[in-house]
Amino acid sequence: MSDEHAFDTQALIERMHAREATVGIIGLGYVGLPLALALVERDFSVVGFDIDEGKITELTAGRSYFSHIDSGRVAGAVASGRFEATGRFERLGEPDAILICVPTPLTSQREPDLRFVKATARQLSGVLRKGQLVVLESTTYPGTTDEVLKPILEESGLVCGRDFLLAFSPEREDPGNPDFHTATIPKVVGGVDQASGEVAGALYGHVIDEIVRVTSARTAEAVKLTENIFRAVNIALVNELKIVFDPMDVDVWEVLDAADSKPFGFMKFSPGPGWGGHCIPIDPFYLTWKAREHGVQTKFIELAGEVNVHMPRYVINKLQQALNSRKKAVNGSRILVLGIAYKRDVDDARESPAFVLIDRLEQLGAQVRFHDPYVPVLPPTRRWAHLTVTESVELTPENIRGFDAVLLVTDHRNVDYELIADHADLVVDTRGVYRSSDRSPRDNVIKA
């Protein structure tokens, strides 16, 4: 370790080895909570910080507020005495390491919105002490950690690299994935300097099975964007193929299933009604914004965004055509939206295309209801506060028959799709549930 450091970084690493270091996590959402539990389960003491008093109450009582995280894990963490949740941010000076897991959304102009990162940094700068490690996990553009976070933290009078350490390690959570969880997903770590990267890697190395060290925080930030842009571009490709193949009477899902039999040179992505989740609809625009600062255009990425953004419009058009063929208009029709979550088998509705579809249908005069076994009540959002639909309806033969159309948006595995097809007058399938290859063709099912 360099002599320029005002504290002994090796001593901090040794405290981590001995599980004597306390870790603070800011933001106990989809990223912060599973990370906190993983640390506690590896014998670290964790203080979780959040502005949502409801979350703090639930966690203190040993209850989870996510369907994919068992309350038993939360109760076990609390019972161990190594985990507590608090809204007292003045305590940020207590932990040896602080991991920032706050949202990084977009503005209405689709530009990076770093207000949560900046606000967190200002809170932290007021209590930052010598010898602390700070790691940003929130997805962002290359340069955020050292251009935005570092200067705010140094307003404390402390100097990064001498008095405190700073790194970036992108979250890679995939809620509902049965094959991978926090500890088994390789962790990318990059520091603003060598010592920061080394200490951050040492901390995560006690919790995550594999650590991938990169040369800088900027590189780590770029890694996360690259991963999600890769997905966004390929989702746009298969969505466009769906539109292209439809007038040719070719089932894109059957094509993709067959193409997936090739053991090399092909990676399967599935089309849908649009993109969703906190990453895919947002992350590409973080890079396009930063690229413009450097005079670089991201034509390919922006085209993919255009395709994905317009998918709900394509779906609505297919629904209108299907209703017209039955001499019905969208105006006045009763439409059941099947699925609010942005992907199957989770309760996460962030950026779900279901909101866009419901909003458009209501604007066209439809009477909209929804069913989602994981989202019983439409989550409150500023953008969609005007939607009239609120609670999930039960799937019964009588209820299904009462709708003019069922719009399948999310393909949860625990939904009885045969029941729906047997009793619905019309099903508009955006997920390929009723595939030509494994189900008998039905006259009442339209692919969209």
Write out the chain in H/E/C secondary structure: CCCCCCCCHHHHHHHHHCCCCEEEEECCCCCHHHHHHHHHHCCCEEEEECCCHHHHHHHHCCCCCCCCCCHHHHHHHHHCCCEEEECCHHHHHCCCEEEECCCCCECCCCCECCHHHHHHHHHHHCCCCCCCEEEECCCCCCCHHHHHHHHHHHHHCCCECCCEEEEECCCCCCCCCCCCCHHHCCEEEEECCHHHHHHHHHHHHCCCCCEEECCCHHHHHHHHHHHHHHHHHHHHHHHHHHHHHHHHCCCHHHHHHHHCCCCCCCCCCCCCCCCCCCCCCCHHHHHHHHHHHCCCCCHHHHHHHHHHHCHHHHHHHHHHHHHHHCCCCCCCCEEEEECCCCCCCCCCCCCCHHHHHHHHHHHCCCEEEEECCCCCECCCCCCCCCCCCCEECCCCHHHHHCCCEEEECCCCCCCCHHHHHHHCCCEEECCCCCCCCCCCCCCCEEEC
The catalytic residue positions are 279
